[in-house]
Structure 1
Amino acid sequence: MTRLSHYTHAIAAIAICIAAPRTCVAQAPVPDSAAIEQKLNEAISKMSLESKIDLLGGSDGFYLLAVPEAGAPRIRMSDGPMGVRGAGPTTAYTNGVALAATWDTDLAEQVGIALGRDARSRGVHILLAPGVNMYRAPMAGRSFEYAGEDPILAGRLAVGYIRGVQSQGVVATIKHFAANNEEYDRHDVDSVVDERTLRELYLPAFEMAVKDGKVGAIMDSYNLLNGEHTTQSRHLNCEIAKHEWGFDGIVMSDWEATYDGVAAAKGCLDVEMPYAKAMTRAVLMPAVKIGTVTLAEIDEKVRRILRLEMRFQFTGRDQTDLSIGSDSVASLAVAQRGALEAPVLLKNEEGALPFGPGVKRIAVIGPNAYPYVTGGGSAMAIPFSAKSLLEGLVARGGNAVEMLYDRGLPEASAVFHETKWTTPEGKTGVTSEAFAELGCKGTLLEKNVIANLDAATAKQTVPRQAKSVCYSAIYTPKASGKYLLLTAALGTDSYRVTVDGHETIATEPREYQAPKDSYVELTASKPASVRVEYTESHIYQMDKGESVGLTATVSVGLAPVESLPSERAKLLAAKADAVVVAVGFDQRTEHEGMDRPFELPFGQAELIRTMAAANPRTVVVLNAGGAADAQPWLNQVRGLIDDFYPGQEGGEALAKLLFGDANFSGRLPFTFERSWEESPVHDSYYADKDKRVVYREGLFNGYRYYTSAGKQPLFPFGFGLSYTAFTFSDLKLSSGNVQSGEPVTAKFRVTNTGTRAGTAIAQVYVEDPSAKVKRPIRELKDFARMVLAPGESRDISVTLNARAMSFYDVAAKAWKIDPGKFVVKVGESSENLPLAATFEVRK
């Protein structure tokens, strides 16, 4: 049987699980019962206060303690959402934002089932996924894990994902609760969000996960929300999740995100991960003794933990299912489907795609062409095998199409290593000075000359007493023009770089970092003075004043911009019939714990322009968790594909799409800005001096802002091209006049007017022009995905309930409908809505 046949049969098998779930859910959670409650009561009555408190903290990184009194085993957790981590290689599926780009709730459930099976094969009880934080800005380091900017899209996909995971006897975890919309300084930043915006934009996906998905666990976020850490927020955890929504699972912290044990206990946090640092015996036992924390509150946490374990039958079976292969064909099938459905075709001019019989030679250029790339951090899954874009194209082209490959740009290490420095005194190398105080002040402890500013080849130890190290060097350019200044360091190291006295790059100590770049104009033969003030993160960790050497890891390099694209890449592009340029971010540059820039990494814009100049039939493939700066080169290329991080099968899938073996069906789950300056959150994304991020845009984020302000982004939310075309017609509403609270059904027809099969995604928006409160001009309320043959039409029906017409009334603490006129619009993006119909809501 061919691999493709394996995929076909495997997808059919998983589809049976969804269509006839009784055949596949022998290990699914059981309903709560009097028997479970009796067992819970008996177990809790046997536990000491000490053992109860111990259960509230994790163990060994990714476990919960066993409870012998309840017959409960040690519970194992694993990161997600791209794959089950922590037990060696795994299947790596499409990342969260790529899954959102499919707009395919059926696929989301299949991904959930596959992940559930992967978890069972490894003995994992709790999967720490999915994530549904709203996309607020493209730079947020974990946007690639999440599901875009709209809560209806994110919530619908999350519900399918959760149902799939939990059908296999594995607890899903919705995260990160809430308003975790940036990674920069995530432990200390305070997201200041008004209640209405919180309820209408940032909480609905969580609400759907709880009410519709019956998710077993919620993970609180690192950030503060309105002045309070979410792990100790009674408003979020107690009032909203547990009381209003009826959440009956466990609320856990993110890793080391519990900051006050008593406040967390009072704030309805049930589990502190990865171990008890705040909710400890030492903290909670005295609090119980004096009544600050009640025994009933402790018992409720224990009850929730054990009830979840009993509900999922962890007390009655071995979680490891050896009948499931850890690298199963079924899992590969789902990964392949996700990789095929996710890519979004954003531009296709002058017949650039698909590649036809006339294309015999393709130049595959760029740092992301090989090897396989993904996002970094706890979501990164290490696959058994993965296909890069280059490998996928080589396999598809076979003997018929020649593939010519070049990385196109130097590695950062090459820029550092090849930069030639001289000291201010004229010697070859860089002057290094270690100081006793920060900012290169105080006693000079050590001075020497090192070969260069390349930490990989010129590692330098500094005295333990040093608090800063300063490097001084001269760079003499051979030609006048624009030069790349590239810097890098490790971990939480920080540094400040000046060129001829002007600060050019500066960083602060944060969790993680990627290379930084800037550009300077230099004059031929005119020496440029470069100075680096550097603080290594561990320099602060003084150890009794002993002089123990530490390794400085800063790297700095300069190179003329025009020299960055390789000469070989230019030659290959010129002789090819078409060029595919693979650029964007990867696991080193888009990563949990840090934010990335809006601009592409160093040299990539120049590489694209250079390739387009060498060959007009240039198509760009972008890997990123959100938008990036395409303006400097978009008009010079004929094609652009947003491939996100498609998972291990991405190279093969994209090759099929490029050659027209399959049709593009992805649609943007976020708005693709023309520039960062045009974003509605540009002026409020980063924290103020008090570490507060005030969401001044309120509800007007993403397409809600652009449509309401009458501005055009580069590519709108919901946009995506196809090799075919669709029309929308015959919109009819079930009624033109309804009582407040009554639903309205919208029916319409979608037709494939092209010559090949394709996927249409019909998007249904609601407008409330007569609202007495300020509302976005339109909001997505439903969508339908369908595959249509050439000439085929399909009638679609969606029902808009009261919530689809409502806004959150903060004073009343309830959802409210303003009587008056409403407009239903239907089309294929937030900007392209050819159908409209109105109805009136009366009191």
Structure 2
Amino acid sequence: MKYKNLIDNMTLEEKASLMSGKDFWTTVDIDKHGIPSIFLADGPHGIRKQAVASDHLGLNESIPATCYPTAATLANSWNCQLAKLMGNYLGREAVSQNVNVLLGPGTNIKRNPLCGRNFEYFSEDPYLSGSMASSLINGIQSNGISACVKHYVANNQEYRRMVIDTIIDERTLREIYLTPFEMAVKNGKSKSIMSSYNMVNGTHTNENMHLMQDILRKEWEYTGVVVTDWGGSNDRIKGLKAGNELEMPTTSGETDQEIKTAIETNNLDETILDENVNRLLELIFDTSEIYKSNKHTSFDIENHHKMAQKVAEESIVLLKNENKLLPLKSKEKIAIIGDFAKSPRYQGAGSSIVNPTKIDDTLSIIDGYDFNYVGFEQGYNRYGKKSIKLINKAVKLADRADVILLYIGLDEYSEVEGIDRNHMSIPDNQVQLLERLNETGKKVVVILSCGSAVDMSWDKQTNAVVHSYLSGQAGARAILNVITGKVNPSGKLAESYPYAYEHVSSASNFPGQEVSVEYREGLFVGYRYYDTVNVPVRYPFGYGLSYTSFAYHNIEVNEKEVSFEIKNTGDVIGAEVAQLYISAKNSKVFRVNKELKGFQKVLLEPGETKKVTIPFDEYTFRFYNDTTNEWEIENCDYEVIIASSSVDIKLTEIINGIGTEINTNYKREELKSYYSGQVADISLKEFATLLGENVPTAEYDFYKKKRMIIDYNSTVEQLKYSKRWIGRFFSYGVLFANKVLHIIGKHSTANVLIMGVYHQPMRGLSRMTDGAISWGQLDGLIMMFNGQFFKGLITFINEGRKKSKKKKGKKRGRINDRNNK
């Protein structure tokens, strides 16, 4: 161990104290051993460091920082160099705010378009997700601090996220959900990882020895720190044994005592604690080194704002452009309609919300463009309330224009951490507005702002669609630069846009409603499903238009790489994203039609030709054989596909006979749906065959009709099933308060109430309240909820007295320490 001498000189109490937070965002410092405290801050796309009262859900304002485009937006750039550069800028700002660990990037797969946190995640594809995450991590950590890739693993729904059990087969877990984390560890060298709230196959992720030890520590040789998501620790001793060093936030010393007791009673080997302490100390000292110099000064706000604009420009996706309407011609009469033009939708909500240094909005900057601008109308109420008056005013303005720029999308309370969407539609009042504008006969350009796939059945009523995703604080100018042709759009979709939600492979198994969520679709996520079973989509994975055109020629393949030529056949400079897919032929195991295994973004002058080479790597041909529990390359023919999107194939070549003969327990007759790809409605029996064991019961365990035993992992929502009225009153009271808040327009507070209280497990009432409710008091509450009202009340009162006495003792101790000094 690197810090063995230091650890040997520490007491058991001191070592245990390091294993949980000092407060909401910092670790414990021990002055006599020279151990500083480090600061962990939210920061997937901008630093969220709170200056005063701390919370995890974005209630309190943070120090101003640059709000960059979200991960869902950045992924559309398909530019790893750009992601690394953005990461470098993020890291610089983190250092300027004395942050040691930046909590991001989010690297979970977009399994289903309704996941409320999709805006924080890169893609439905593991290779693209892992590539972008690795690059962002490299950029962040180049500043001497740590990134923290999250949420490890299979955290793909927000509903009941803190207690849901993800039921998934090993091959799907490895190939789809773990691969981006593997790349973040091996290629990104992430110094820290955040474990997810959920369980995987019956065990909490931070206690899961298979995930934490077999895969992360042994197979990937990870030596960094694992930190829990805030309030995400279930059993501290099990977590420590699995190698979860840091529990956040503070537990006011309660779990420190648990660790001490476990060692004293031989339930925990002290050497395991020492190993965890050693890894945490390495992170602490490593990320504190930069602060010994004078480099951690302020950052250039304007320069960073321009960087946010550059990222947005490369990430905007042109989805439709009838008759080459865009770029707009100068002097055309332009009407701007839509609330998002005045108050842009540029980021998500929840723990990632950034307090921007400045915000560009369309109306404030429109005069800088060569338009004949005729005016603005709001057009719709932002949060969905219908108004014929607003529509009529917008239509009246449209009559004066040649082209309408219509800004629409999802509001900030529709896409939010902790809450999944109920449907894929944008608000009806916006669609109604579009229909009326289309009836005017004027040309309509839609600027769409949202963080994940939406139903776009309305696009037939448009002449052009520019998808900005959530483009950060400088997005408004980036959008106008694309619309006017100052920037040639080069973004490509990092997720598929289906015609209907019913076409999504996981639609019948999302979200898990009670105990568990079953990943019955297996490998067939996103384009892997649509392409395999020939389900047409509205806009495919990897799709995006340009103001120029490209031609592909001269493919050459060997065992190490594929090369080919791309020519810009248009008359303006432009960038093309060339995509490498691999398709295994005549495989013994079931496979998807093709998988992304490489990509390269190429900038070309008009008429210019470039040779592009994409090397093969360890991920190119492999599959996970759950018969042998090994990654293997099967001996079969592989089609090497070069494409402009998952459905726009440009060049192909076959490589014969790579790999070795394999053994598999798969039986085609028992897994017919998986061999055909028809996985939208998998039977319980077939899913159990894939799992290799019985599927756990997904429903609540009621001891009688609509009544259950409340325990530490029961949520506030589940209290409506508790034995005593006090629990039911608490649960329904929270729900009632939420409805009232929505009625009076307090949407943000209402959402926080749902994600921060209603779906909070009982243990979170203690772990997330900074000691306001002790674990002993929690035991009293649970007794009351389970029918032992008076016994529970007495316990709650007595434990409260103990807590107060303990606090007073600590306060006296601190006063004595100061006096002695």
Q: Which residue of 2 aligns with 1:375?
A: 348
- 2:71 maps to which of 76, 91, 96: 96
TM-superposed deviation, 1:562? 7.6
TM-superposed deviation, 1:70? 4.3
Task: Name the amino acid aligned to 1:789.
Answer: E
CA–CA separation in structure 2 for the residues paired with 1:188 and 1:391: 45
Q: Secondary structure at the match of 2:537?
A: coil
Q: Which residue of 2 aligns with 1:461?
A: none
Given that 1:121 and 1:320 are in contact with CA atoms closer than 8 Å, whether structure 2 keeps it comes out as no
Q: Which residue of 2 aligns with 1:655?
A: 480
CA–CA separation in structure 2 for the residues paired with 1:712 and 1:786: 28
Structure having the larger proportion of residues in strand = 1
Within-5 A mapping of 1:548-627: 563=388, 565-596=390-421, 597-627=423-453
Task: Name the amino acid aligned to 2:532.
Answer: S
CA–CA separation in structure 2 for the residues paired with 1:317 and 1:583: 44
TM-superposed deviation, 1:409? 1.2
> Is 2:73 aligned against 1:73?
no
Given that 1:61 and 1:274 are in contact with CA atoms closer than 8 Å, whether structure 2 keeps it comes out as yes
Change (3 A) 1:239 1:403: farther
> Is 2:334 aligned against 1:362?
yes
- 1:781 maps to which of 581, 597, 600: 597
Change (3 A) 1:249 1:358: same
Within-5 A mapping of 1:257-276: 257-276=232-251
Task: Name the amino acid aligned to 2:118.
Answer: S
Given that 2:493 and 2:544 are in contact with CA atoms closer than 8 Å, whether structure 1 keeps it comes out as yes
Q: Which residue of 1 aligns with 2:176?
A: 201
Within-5 A mapping of 1:745-784: 745-784=561-600
CA offset digits 1:521-551 (Å, max 9, x no partner): xxxxxxxxxxxxxxxxxxxxxxxxxxxxxxx
Q: Which residue of 1 aligns with 2:531?
A: 707
Within-5 A mapping of 1:58-137: 58-86=21-49, 87=51, 88-137=63-112
CA offset digits 1:291-337 (Å, max 9, x no partner): 2221111111110010122334x158448745332x43432232121
Task: Name the amino acid aligned to 1:144.
Answer: F
Change (3 A) 1:283 1:336: same
Within-5 A mapping of 1:341-740: 341-359=314-332, 361-373=333-345, 374-397=347-370, 400-412=371-383, 415=385, 563=388, 565-596=390-421, 597-631=423-457, 633-688=458-513, 690-734=514-558
Task: Name the amino acid aligned to 1:255.
Answer: W
Q: Which residue of 2 aligns with 1:212?
A: 187
Within-5 A mapping of 1:48-63: 48-63=11-26
Change (3 A) 1:222 1:839: same
Given that 2:341 and 2:362 are in contact with CA atoms closer than 8 Å, whether structure 1 keeps it comes out as yes
TM-superposed deviation, 1:744? 3.0
TM-superposed deviation, 1:691? 2.5
CA–CA separation in structure 1 for the residues paired with 2:13 and 2:592: 52
TM-superposed deviation, 1:564? 6.9
Q: Secondary structure at the match of 2:218?
A: helix
Given that 2:547 and 2:572 are in contact with CA atoms closer than 8 Å, whether structure 1 keeps it comes out as yes
Q: Which residue of 2 aligns with 1:291?
A: 266
Task: Name the amino acid aligned to 2:439.
Answer: A
CA offset digits 1:657-715 (Å, max 9, x no partner): 10111100100000111111111111111214x43111111100100001100121110
Q: Secondary structure at the match of 2:538?
A: coil
Change (3 A) 1:583 1:316: closer
Q: Secondary structure at the match of 1:47?
A: coil
Deviation larger for 298-307 or 187-196:
187-196
CA–CA separation in structure 1 for the residues paired with 2:338 and 2:546: 25
Given that 1:803 and 1:815 are in contact with CA atoms closer than 8 Å, whether structure 2 keeps it comes out as no
CA offset digits 1:344-372 (Å, max 9, x no partner): 0001102321110241x222112322212
> Is 2:570 aligned against 1:744?
no
CA–CA separation in structure 1 for the residues paired with 2:409 and 2:476: 15
Task: Name the amino acid aligned to 2:48.
Answer: R
CA–CA separation in structure 1 for the residues paired with 2:435 and 2:290: 62
Q: Which residue of 2 aligns with 1:181?
A: 156
Given that 1:127 and 1:173 are in contact with CA atoms closer than 8 Å, whether structure 2 keeps it comes out as yes
CA–CA separation in structure 2 for the residues paired with 1:385 and 1:721: 30
CA–CA separation in structure 2 for the residues paired with 1:183 and 1:320: 41
CA–CA separation in structure 2 for the residues paired with 1:584 and 1:770: 44
TM-superposed deviation, 1:822? 0.7
CA–CA separation in structure 2 for the residues paired with 1:69 and 1:841: 63
TM-superposed deviation, 1:588? 2.2
Given that 2:77 and 2:492 are in contact with CA atoms closer than 8 Å, whether structure 1 keeps it comes out as yes
- 2:298 maps to which of 316, 324, 329: 324
What are structure 2's unaligned runs of at least 5 residues?
A: 52-62, 661-821
Structure having the larger proportion of residues in helix = 2
- Identity fraction in percent: 34
Change (3 A) 1:321 1:328: farther
What are structure 1's unaligned runs of at least 5 residues?
A: 1-36, 416-560, 735-742
CA–CA separation in structure 1 for the residues paired with 2:140 and 2:583: 35
Q: Secondary structure at the match of 2:649?
A: coil
Q: Secondary structure at the match of 1:803?
A: coil
CA–CA separation in structure 2 for the residues paired with 1:140 and 1:90: 27
Give me the TM-score of the superposition, normalised by structure 1: 0.74
Given that 1:121 and 1:322 are in contact with CA atoms closer than 8 Å, whether structure 2 keeps it comes out as yes
Within-5 A mapping of 1:1-80: 40-80=3-43
Change (3 A) 1:651 1:584: same
CA offset digits 1:132-171 (Å, max 9, x no partner): 1011111111111111111111111111111111110110
TM-superposed deviation, 1:587? 2.5
Q: Secondary structure at the match of 2:539?
A: coil
CA–CA separation in structure 1 for the residues paired with 2:487 and 2:382: 34
Given that 1:729 and 1:750 are in contact with CA atoms closer than 8 Å, whether structure 2 keeps it comes out as yes
TM-superposed deviation, 1:278? 9.3
Cα RMSD (Å) of the superposition?
Answer: 1.8
CA–CA separation in structure 1 for the residues paired with 2:475 and 2:355: 14
Q: Secondary structure at the match of 1:603?
A: helix
CA–CA separation in structure 1 for the residues paired with 2:436 and 2:172: 44
Deviation larger for 233-242 or 658-667:
233-242
TM-superposed deviation, 1:247? 0.7
Give me the TM-score of the superposition, normalised by structure 2: 0.76
Task: Name the amino acid aligned to 2:316.
Answer: P
Task: Name the amino acid aligned to 2:415.
Answer: E
Q: Which residue of 2 aligns with 1:10?
A: none
CA–CA separation in structure 2 for the residues paired with 1:349 and 1:251: 50
Q: Secondary structure at the match of 1:259?
A: coil
TM-superposed deviation, 1:202? 0.6
Task: Name the amino acid aligned to 1:700.
Answer: F
Task: Name the amino acid aligned to 2:106.
Answer: G
TM-superposed deviation, 1:99? 0.5
Within-5 A mapping of 1:152-167: 152-167=127-142
CA offset digits 1:734-760 (Å, max 9, x no partner): 2xxxxxxxx432110011101101010
CA–CA separation in structure 2 for the residues paired with 1:319 and 1:82: 26
CA–CA separation in structure 1 for the residues paired with 2:117 and 2:9: 43
Q: Secondary structure at the match of 1:834?
A: strand
Q: Secondary structure at the match of 1:257?
A: coil
Q: Secondary structure at the match of 1:696?
A: coil
CA–CA separation in structure 2 for the residues paired with 1:193 and 1:364: 48
